[in-house]
Amino acid sequence: MPLLLVAHDQAPDGAAALEDAVWQLAESHLVLSGSLVVESPVSPRYLLEHLRGALRRAGREGALLVTTLTAASWDGLSADAEEWIRTRMP
């Protein structure tokens, strides 16, 4: 299943609204500071619209970037986060 990177500029309450909305479309996701990595079959555009709606319903605004992860490099992630990404990368 594809991985999608969601970058956002939300404070903790807005980030919580995004995470709650992600559960509606994804079986699994990883929370990082200022971003989420989402395992979901939906398109980046669909996820963006879904998350934008969740922010509006929560009375929040802000920047969102959603893109498909096809290759990744990282540093400073926990061992669990690295393993979660590694096992799901194509």
Predicted confidence (pLDDT) per residue in 4-52, tens digit: 999 999 999 999 999 999 999 998 999 999 999 999 999 999 999 999 9
Q: How far is CA 20 from CA 25, 75, 88, in A?
A: 10, 27, 21
**90 exposed, middle or buried (CB, 10 Å; 0-12, 13-18, 19+)?**
exposed
pTM listed for this prediction: 0.93
Q: What is the CATH number of domain 3-88?
A: 3.30.70.100
Phi-psi region of 59 (alpha: psi -120 to 50; beta: other; left: phi over 0): left
pLDDT for residue 25: 94
